[in-house]
Structure 1
Amino acid sequence: MTTVLGKPGTDGLGEAVRALREWQHDGAPAQLHPGDLGWFWRTGPETTAGAVRTWSRNGRIRAVGLLDGPGLLRLAIAPDALRDEETARRMAEDITAPERGVLPKGRADIESPTGALLQDLLSEAGWSAEEPWTPLRRDLTGPVDDPGLRIETVGPERAQLFTAVHRAAFGGSSFTERRWHAMAAGAPYTEARSLLAHNARGDAVAVVTVWSAGPGRPGLLEPLGVHRDHRRHGHGRAIALAAASALRELGSSSALVSTPSANTAAVTTYTSAGFRPRPEVRDLHRDE
């Protein structure tokens, strides 16, 4: 058996998305979700294909990586390959060798599932733990409270307003109407929704995009933001509730989100919307 590293190309991105959907299940460790690829798709299919890495054995994808920035590799590994030695050692070799094209030389971070053999191998090679993140999960088997705001499902004609609120929520964001259309044209968006919240005055105050991995599987919130002029009014909790409700309508079993543990305000907001913190996770870091 051989484990092969490859870049999927635009035609092969759908296969990577399908693999990520299949690997999502309740109780699984936090890892790369098809919604993460969907959000990255705002950069266009060619750029997305250039940022994706896949490891395959006998024609079956065993792991998917997303180079989410110059030195951050985010990974998902098939459940039956988490402790597979051949796959883990090949991945570790590829990740630590710049000529393999997985990570550039120098400072780098790896986000991989907790419990994966790859983490053990990288730690033995000198990679160190970074600051913790808190994954949160909300069960969707029961009803979701009304958010108390008017929630709009955004279509192409409202993309300009949606992206304007997003930019007002995230300083330095480059999310534009053109990028929303690129995201919405991607394969993961076939099971996604962009939501826009309005307060009693009609102001657009918060946004979120939710990503289903298919019926009976966990869905993802990525990203969620509140307009900088409308904070501290409970709108974060409201849009998180709206996101959970939308995922429930899409058939998701649960709703997932992650935030740095140091961002206590975000953790509190999600908790108030019924999300429950899971054990913290840490990226692995290399200085050189």
Structure 2
Amino acid sequence: MAQGDDTSPVLPDGFRFRTADEAGPEAAVRAHLDAWAPSTYTTESYQGVRQTAGYRGDLHLLVEAPDGTMASSTIMWLDEANRTAEFEPVGTHPDYRRLGLARATLLHGMHLARAAGATQMTVACLGAPGHPQARGLYYSVGFREFARDAPLIKTRTERPVGQGK
């Protein structure tokens, strides 16, 4: 694929792809905390993630900024039996948003997932009207909607339905 086409990952000058295996646990945790603040994620939480079936540090992608900040990250969960890869979570440090880092990470990840045997990729998206940027990002790299979760709510009532005063 030619550099710059719609499927080639392009990072701004000075940025580079890393993996959690390369960057280490502290960098992976910091990337998460920066992207999803406030968060209670810890090094201990990350150790639990690393022990989860399907986790591979070589498929936990980070984008390192020129100053060493891990500016964007995603974990790809490879299911070899079903030949699928799920991107979850996908996030970018607030100071580095709107630079194309998440898009480049997704495209780079899809290349790696294909090389690892995946034929289908999925991502869970907060695609509700309140999160159009996330939905737009995923559509921009070729994802399409195939299912929609419907949030359900139960309200508390003073008396059971169907019973009078």
Correspondent of 1:249 among 112, 115, 124: 115
- Give the match for residue 218 of structure 1: 84
Q: Give the conservation status (yes or no) of the 8 Å contact 2:7–2:141.
A: no
Tell me, yes or no, if structure 1 residue 178 matches structure 2 residue 41: no
- Give the match for residue 280 of structure 1: 148
- Give the match for residue 165 of structure 1: 31
Change (3 A) 1:279 1:151: same
Deviations 1:190-229 (A, max 9, x none): 5972111124555421011000111553211111110111
Q: Give the conservation status (yes or no) of the 8 Å contact 1:167–1:175.
A: yes
Q: Give the conservation status (yes or no) of the 8 Å contact 1:192–1:209.
A: no
For 1:282, give the aligned amino acid: A
Superposed CA RMSD: 2.5
What is the correspondence of 1:230-245 to structure 2 with a 5 Å cutoff?
Answer: 230-245=96-111
- Rounded Cα–Cα distance in structure 2 between residues aligned with 1:176 and 1:257: 23
- Rounded Cα–Cα distance in structure 2 between residues aligned with 1:191 and 1:276: 27
Tell me, yes or no, if structure 1 residue 145 matches structure 2 residue 8: yes
- Give the match for residue 89 of structure 1: none
Deviations 1:27-77 (A, max 9, x none): xxxxxxxxxxxxxxxxxxxxxxxxxxxxxxxxxxxxxxxxxxxxxxxxxxx
- Structure 2: tracts of 5 or more residues without a match: 1-5, 157-165
1 or 2 for the larger relative contact order (CA 8 Å, sep ≥6)?
1
Q: Percent identity?
A: 23
- Structure 1: tracts of 5 or more residues without a match: 1-142
- Give the match for residue 138 of structure 2: 270
Change (3 A) 1:152 1:228: same
TM-score where L is the length of structure 2: 0.75
- Give the match for residue 71 of structure 2: 205
> Secondary structure in 1 aligned to 2:41?
coil
- Rounded Cα–Cα distance in structure 2 between residues aligned with 1:243 and 1:277: 19
- Rounded Cα–Cα distance in structure 1 between residues aligned with 2:120 and 2:132: 22
Change (3 A) 1:284 1:190: same
> Secondary structure in 2 aligned to 1:187?
coil
For 2:54, give the aligned amino acid: P
Give the deviation of 1:158 after TM superposition: 1.0
Give the deviation of 1:186 after TM superposition: 2.3
Give the deviation of 1:280 after TM superposition: 3.1
Q: Give the conservation status (yes or no) of the 8 Å contact 1:215–1:253.
A: no
TM-score where L is the length of structure 1: 0.45
Change (3 A) 1:199 1:156: closer
Q: Give the conservation status (yes or no) of the 8 Å contact 1:192–1:210.
A: no
Provide runs of 4+ in structure 1 moved above 3 Å: 199-203
What is the correspondence of 1:58-207 to structure 2 with a 5 Å cutoff?
Answer: 144-148=7-11, 149-155=15-21, 158-189=24-55, 193-199=59-65, 202-207=68-73
Q: Give the conservation status (yes or no) of the 8 Å contact 1:210–1:246.
A: no
Correspondent of 1:228 among 94, 114, 119: 94
- Give the match for residue 17 of structure 1: none
